[in-house]
Structure 1
Amino acid sequence: MTYKAIQWATGAMGRAVLRTMIDHPDVEVVGVYTYSPQKVGQDIGLLAGRAETGVLATDDLSQILALDADVVVHAGMLKPYTDHTDDFVPLLESHKNVICLNGYSNPAYWDQEHSRRIAQACLDGDASFMGAGMNPGVVVEQLAATASGLCSRVDTIRITECFDAAEIRNPHYLFEMLGFGGSVDNDPNDPAWGPTAALNPMYEETVSVLAARLGMRLDAVTTAHEFLPATTDLTLPAGLVAQGTVSHTRWRWIGHVGGAPMIVLTINWFVEEAHLGGDQGMWTVQIDGQPCVTLRTEVTKNPDDHSRMGAEQYSVGGVVVNALPYVVDAPAGIVMRPLSTPYRHVW
């Protein structure tokens, strides 16, 4: 089966998914929505570093809604969590399934208007909505849950991510949305502060998915975020991170079960390695119980690939194309992604 897909947004991750879908023999990309006026009217193949396709990018929502498509892959820029709902609703109402890369893996966790709006739009458009990605996504919601199947008792689960953000080239994203180069005196645990307001709901929801998969009832999800200072001036593609300003953000969400910390999700985003300490590797899952389990996951590019696209970007593209059959075949409504969405061989 060939899936007709629309890519929403063409930032670094959006372009990576777009390229993956253009390359995949089971996907036909029929449209691209872009925020950038400079990209409007450009051939989507050229935007993805591929041959021309004859399909042009647009910033006109009415053109996107008029397209005949099975699915929209939404990779909007990180912003306050509920702000993307206004994108989802008309897409779903136009009979297009939606895959979201920025969380929304379990909107039912929130007793809020945005989850009810999404669910109603799914019913109105006979469409399905699913969150997908690496983290949020595969690492916590699939790998950690699967690894727990080796245990007869689970005491704690710790998931750690380490991501080098030094090559991010978008100054707004690096400095404003992720908080690099700011004052370490800011309080990253203030839920009203911009990056925290965007990340807290997304990753609390991720913790809730793992808890639900393991039959656990969360008492609460607390935070223990930290800012760590640059040891020297750092000149990056996006700009300067001055000595003493934030060069490492250590985000930590703690899911409490039965009055004790049970699930600890730590995300290290850094532009220098000085503060990594014992945290190494792209993703690590550590389960303490009987027996104890350690799962380390690294992704690396095919040695024949010499593009600037990173291995983690390719992995998100893979996650999306492997999730397409599930969201398209699902009944109308919000779908929690299955525990496994494996690669499907194309004959």
Structure 2
Amino acid sequence: MIRVIQWATGSMGRTALRRIIDAPHLELAGVHVYSAAKAGQDAGTIARRPETGILATNDIADTLAIDADVVLHTPRITLPYEAMAEDVIRLLESGKNVVSTAGFHWPQAHGAAYADRLHAAALRGGVTLAGVGVQPGVVVERLTLAATAMCSTIERIEIRETVDASAMASPEFVFGLMGLGSDPAVSDIRTGPLAALYSTLFSEVLHFSADAMGSHVERIDPHHDLVLAPAEIIIPAGTIRPGHVAATHWRWTAHLANGVAMTLAILWTADPTLHGDGTTGHWIVDITGRPNVRMTLDIHEGDPAAPPTRALTDATMAVAIRAIPDVVAAPPGLFAYQPQGVWQA
């Protein structure tokens, strides 16, 4: 039985908490929350499950003192990106493995000063740190790279992601972390803290991919576009005024030393009809080489009454829960799933 602490109980965290409570191979050891209102509540109450006898705490000292094998770390990603590193370092040094959905996929992308602190903390605690998720985590690192095995030569890899925010209810997420609704005449998010946050996060995907292909990134070229609302757009999270940002199109192209150009493009939109056919909720992967390879991936909700965001939440938590035994069993240090048979020049 693996003893697990659930860290954070937002939409992702509540799903994670239910999965831990329900899993026969996991035992809930503790719950860490950020709000004083949730502190002292039974984990079952937070997760809409029968009472467990495990009470939530917002005191990190209490969390560090819990006897547990692993922390499932699911906070909302923060500005700046590295802000969560201090908490993770303390968890590692306390002898707890950490499985995070909020970064830490390939810390080596940010240089030795950042990665070495995390690695050293894991070694001091005799434990392992892993960043997991769907994207980053699976779409490129475990699916796209595996598909390169079908190519004898590769010139370009392009991954295009579309996220439909038209049904999302959280203003903090839609207008804060996604940057929708902002006024470009006041602040251009393409050059501000959000751009820095996502450039840092998604650079890990590009550096990991280069390493898996036996190469390295020589440079990353950003190219970001905004789509402004032609008229008022009303969504559950709030209202987007005309002339304000209705969609963000983030793009990064990494030029690898082996000659491959790799582009990661992410479209976040409040109205899919602003973008041609309105196809959303999936990834399209194009590998240009000999031969060319195209893949599409869609994660959707089968229950029409359920919120459309539930499918991706379920998928992300499934990846994280599945990773727990692998991370606990791994040698101390930094962990990432390594794809097999990846193309190399």
TM-score of the superposed pair, with normalisation by structure 2: 0.91
2:55 matched residue in structure 1: 56
Paired letter, 1:69: A
RMSD: 2.0
- Distance in structure 1 (CA, Å) of the matches to 2:83 and 2:182: 24
1:19 matched residue in structure 2: 18
1:288 matched residue in structure 2: 288
Paired letter, 1:62: A
2:156 matched residue in structure 1: 156
Is 2:315 the partner of 1:315?
Answer: yes
Query: Counterpart of 2:168 in 1: which secondary structure?
Result: coil
Correspondence list, 1:109-124, <5 A: 109-124=109-124
Where does the alignment leave 5 or more consecutive residues of structure 1 unmatched? 341-347
Structure 1 residues 49 and 268, CA gap change in structure 2 (3 angstroms): farther
Which shifted more, 225-234 or 48-57?
A: 48-57
Is 2:328 the partner of 1:328?
Answer: yes
- Distance in structure 2 (CA, Å) of the matches to 1:227 and 1:247: 8
Is 2:234 the partner of 1:228?
Answer: no
Which shifted more, 159-168 or 133-142?
A: 159-168
Say if 2:230 and 2:243, in contact at 8 Å, map to a contact too: yes
2:343 matched residue in structure 1: none
Where does the alignment leave 5 or more consecutive residues of structure 2 unmatched? 341-345
Structure 1 residues 167 and 31, CA gap change in structure 2 (3 angstroms): farther
1:344 matched residue in structure 2: none
- Distance in structure 2 (CA, Å) of the matches to 1:306 and 1:51: 24
- Distance in structure 2 (CA, Å) of the matches to 1:47 and 1:307: 19
1:165 matched residue in structure 2: 165
Query: Counterpart of 1:168 in 2: which secondary structure?
Result: coil
1:96 matched residue in structure 2: 96
1:196 matched residue in structure 2: 195
Query: Counterpart of 1:28 in 2: which secondary structure?
Result: strand
- Distance in structure 1 (CA, Å) of the matches to 2:221 and 2:3: 41
Q: Aligned-pair distance for 1:217?
A: 2.0
**Per-residue deviation, residues 41-65 of structure 1 (Å, max 9, x unmatched):** 2222222232322212210111111
Say if 1:17 and 1:316, in contact at 8 Å, map to a contact too: no
Q: Aligned-pair distance for 1:26?
A: 1.6
Query: Counterpart of 2:217 in 1: which secondary structure?
Result: coil
Q: Aligned-pair distance for 1:102?
A: 2.0
Correspondence list, 1:116-135, <5 A: 116-135=116-135
1:239 matched residue in structure 2: 238
2:188 matched residue in structure 1: 187
- Distance in structure 2 (CA, Å) of the matches to 1:275 and 1:7: 39
Q: Aligned-pair distance for 1:140?
A: 1.1
Aligned residues: 336
Say if 1:21 and 1:317, in contact at 8 Å, map to a contact too: no
Q: Aligned-pair distance for 1:259?
A: 9.0
Which shifted more, 250-259 or 85-94?
A: 250-259
Q: Aligned-pair distance for 1:307?
A: 4.7
Is 2:119 the partner of 1:140?
Answer: no
Say if 1:78 and 1:198, in contact at 8 Å, map to a contact too: no
- Distance in structure 2 (CA, Å) of the matches to 1:219 and 1:15: 40
Q: Aligned-pair distance for 1:216?
A: 2.5
Q: Aligned-pair distance for 1:302?
A: 4.8
Paired letter, 1:208: H
Q: Aligned-pair distance for 1:323?
A: 0.8
1:256 matched residue in structure 2: 255
1:77 matched residue in structure 2: 76
Moved over 6 A (4+): none
Q: Aligned-pair distance for 1:281?
A: 4.5
- Distance in structure 1 (CA, Å) of the matches to 2:305 and 2:166: 19
TM-score of the superposed pair, with normalisation by structure 1: 0.91
Say if 1:188 and 1:226, in contact at 8 Å, map to a contact too: no
Paired letter, 2:95: H
Say if 1:184 and 1:228, in contact at 8 Å, map to a contact too: no
1:68 matched residue in structure 2: 67
Identity of aligned residues (%): 34
2:211 matched residue in structure 1: 212
